[in-house]
A and B are shown apart, each in its own frame.
Chain A
């Protein structure tokens, strides 16, 4: 009986246990159901949908960049890129993928980390411009059993001119950075999008970029694409036609080869920029990528700063190229006339300090014309001392110094135009008379960029109208032209002096252009004071500057050249000479082809059938 009693107790306990267990399991299932179907229904249904539908981007091809004759400067070409889908990504696949695609594993990991904030369904580009071998690698490994996270897409990639041709002008493209995403210009972009970073690519990014498309495909549980559900085609970017003349640009590129500095040529009559070069350059193709490769790092860490567009960003003392402005200020202020003469004995004392002329023997009795032609420093020391810094600053400001020209390129520098007020404001110091003496010959606190110089002298040469430099053809510049009420006789005196520089007995007779009356002004600017060089026992070569316009009457081209450590301005003059020659030779070809259609005497033909020649 006891046994039977015990057994019944045991059975009852077992039944009770099973009952509780059943209830527990049921509650567990109910909880799971609640979580799946009610609490997080939206999340799970979205996840299921994403597993079913895969969205692949169709990058929009960027617009071409053309010169003024519609010749192609930047083109596109068909290429393939590989994307990494993070939804199906397995960490252990990353290393073999990096090896197969010749990628830096650590860089790949860093890239994934950078894109962590992006939604997972957005695949990320890991390599562009795939070679046939890399395409074969991707295609043979992206099956569901190997690396299903790999996606191959067709893209249109940039074809830039080789060897850094126009690199600073054109600019490069790259992935939008986190700091850029905070800017209003890039508000519509997402991390990973390709945007223009510098130059025209940045300035006209909205025109060039187009709108990316998307392809939605149905995939099975293994990741196999079954069919295309929908496609939103990409809208290609618009072509951008520049004011650049490829003939002039090419000669400027060749003339600046092997030098450090910047040069710019523009049409002073309308502000159209004809050419712009900066050296050292860089290969645009190396930078225009999502990958930060070795070349990318080398360019960014280069102490020569190849990314600096010296034509618009190099802020340096313009040296004697500033003298025409001082001359104009003096003439306009009435402190001197065209016949005013000063004696030059190779130097002069001002405020207790001896200021040398570049000609130690002296120029003797010097008029304005001679002072400009032979770049007599003593003459301008006297002029500067006479008119004072604020008069110089007034006319320099009219000519555009100390402010951005307004060229349609990003990150233009404004240089420094010193004045008595400026010194108090910037340096909290009083202006001294000795400071004016330095500024009068383009030294001291004064700094300028090549484009400011070309813009200033070009505007002066056409009688005091300064058109805003611009690169987009057929569109008005961002700022209207400025006109100064100058005495045209004064302008002519200055122009005469500048013509003597090249065509008379001036400092740049080696820059004469046969058949063209080019006027110019040399500049040899110290970058380090003599005292500093003596103290450190070093010799730093002077910067060579040259600013020119041609022809003398109604000039149609103004050129400014900065040849860093070029030692003497006339060595920059020969660069401007070749640029001006290219411009007028082309004009002659154009005139000939218009007057004699079919004439083929010229040594140059337009390569792509452009209408320019």
Chain B
């Protein structure tokens, strides 16, 4: 067999090839496909290889591409972050500028309206100390700022100057535990003394438990302390309750609601009337100028602070009895100790007829004739 194939190798190959082609043609005819088998075989044979190669290629080039893309994104991100920070800072700056402009506008408006002579100052630092509430301002004795001068904002009082240097001054804030000033409520006109507590609350002291003070009522400076001019807002009442000796009234200082940046130092104080309502209290975050003082207000210099006497009249049983006997004498037309009528201390008191109520006479009912 080998000899035959060997001898007729070419023919044998040809026959085999022809036969194979015939078989293949038959298979192709039988399958009725429009694709040549060779292609099918070739494709079938080459596809896995091509897939592998393509996978390798795709993975290789994809990772590289993505890497490069990532590098670009990071770079871009960095740039954007820088831009964002810059924009944020710009935004903040503009906001600050806007707020400052508004504050300054409010302050300018306040200064124009307020009869006290003031000078603007910036807060440049805070003091140290566990309980101390002290700040430093950029105005000092060369600007006329002296120890003891009140420091305010249009929103309320801030504190008082405790030390004055040539180009700066130390201000004790109203929240300092050693701070105190005279206050008066806007509704009941009750006088008291407000004191710092070392936190964000103020205590109003020396108000009798019998006095009526409601939450929301606003306290203003009374001018009694001879430091702060009368009529500057201090804060609204947050808590009002009965105390041991005096009422416990806590205020929220209005001066710190919007932070402290610029302040006014009162060089020459002038008293004002207490407005009925605190302007801007409880409104939005924007500073609003103080409402103009009432038209009937007459500014008076600080030195002319009237000394208020206790309105409560103190009396004993002797005073009450004296009044009673005096009225008995008047009722009986008796002048004690004088000749004439003898007083009768056991006479019943004269019957005091209550005044007839002034009621309109109702229209007369129609007279119904008897049947």
A interface, CB within 8 angstroms of B: 67, 71-75, 77-78, 80, 100, 102, 131-137, 139-146, 154, 159-163, 165-166, 224, 246-247, 249-251, 253-257, 259, 510, 512-514, 570-571, 574-575, 577-578, 581-582, 585-586, 588-589, 601-604, 607-608, 610
Contacts and interface: CB of A to CB of B under 8 A. Distances in A.
Contacts of A581: 342-345
Point out which of B206, B307, B318 has the most chain A C-beta atoms below 10 A from its C-beta: B318
Contact of A603 (B162, B182, B205, B328): B328
27 contacts: A73-B318, A100-B226, A132-B224, A132-B308, A133-B191, A135-B206, A136-B181, A136-B222, A137-B224, A139-B195, A139-B225, A143-B176, A144-B178, A160-B316, A161-B318, A161-B319, A161-B322, A247-B345, A254-B325, A254-B326, A254-B337, A571-B339, A578-B336, A582-B345, A585-B346, A589-B345, A601-B348
Contacts of B206: 80, 132, 135
B191 A247 contact: no
Contacts of A571: 339
B315 interface: yes
Given A139-B193, A145-B163, A259-B337, A603 B316 contact: no
A140 B336 contact: no
B224 A604 contact: no
Contacts of A135: 193, 206
Contacts of A601: 346, 348
B329 A254 contact: yes
B309 interface: yes
Nearest to A609: B317
Contacts of A604: 324-325, 328, 345-346
Contact of B321 (A71, A80, A133, A257): A71
Contacts of A72: 316-318
A145 B172 contact: yes
A593 to B, nearest CB: 11
B315 to A, nearest CB: 7
A276 to B, nearest CB: 13
B322 A75 contact: no
B128 interface: no
B346 A603 contact: yes
Nearest to B308: A133
Nearest to B176: A143
Interface string B302-338: 0001111110001111111110111011000000111
B338 A131 contact: no
Contacts of B226: 100, 137, 140
B346 A102 contact: no
Given A137-B182, A140-B193, A224-B178, 16 more contacts: A71-B318, A73-B318, A132-B310, A134-B224, A134-B307, A140-B227, A143-B180, A159-B315, A159-B316, A161-B315, A161-B316, A251-B345, A254-B325, A582-B343, A603-B348, A604-B346
Contact of A140 (B180, B309, B337): B180
Contacts of B176: 143
Given A136-B224, A137-B226, A510-B339, A610 B315 contact: no
Nearest to A139: B180
A358 B183 CA distance: 71
Given A74-B316, A140-B180, A603-B328, A133 B224 contact: yes
A585 B345 contact: yes
B317 A165 contact: no
Contacts of A246: 317-318, 321
B349 interface: yes
A604 B345 CA distance: 7
Contacts of B329: 254
A80 B321 CA distance: 29
A112 to B, nearest CB: 22
Contacts of A145: 147, 162-163, 172
Given A100-B226, A133-B308, A137-B224, A578 B318 contact: no
A62 to B, nearest CB: 14
B206 to A, nearest CB: 5
B148 interface: yes
Given A137-B224, A250-B325, A574-B339, A610 B317 contact: yes
A608 B320 contact: yes
B347 to A, nearest CB: 5
B342 A577 contact: yes
Contact of A574 (B191, B320, B338): B338
Contacts of A585: 344-346
Contacts of A140: 179-182, 193, 225-227
A571 B335 CA distance: 13
B154 interface: no
Nearest to B161: A145
Nearest to A163: B322
Nearest to A100: B226
A270 B295 CA distance: 70
A602 B346 contact: yes
Contacts of B321: 71, 246-247, 250, 607
Contacts of B229: none
9 smallest beta-carbon distances between A and B, as pairs: A136-B182, A255-B337, A133-B224, A140-B225, A139-B180, A136-B224, A585-B345, A161-B318, A607-B320
Query: Which of B305, B309, B339 is packed against the most chain A CB atoms within 10 Å?
Result: B339
* Residue in A136, A143, A602 with the greatest tally of chain B CB atoms within 10 Å: A136
Nearest to B350: A603
A129 to B, nearest CB: 8
Contact of B317 (A78, A257, A589, A608): A608
A257 B318 contact: no
Interface string B221-265: 010111100000000000000000100000000000000000000
B156 interface: no
A560 B202 CA distance: 62
A575 B322 contact: no
Nearest to B179: A143
A607 B349 CA distance: 15
Contacts of B168: none
B192 interface: yes
Contacts of A67: 317-318
Interface string B341-359: 0111111110000000000
A155 to B, nearest CB: 13
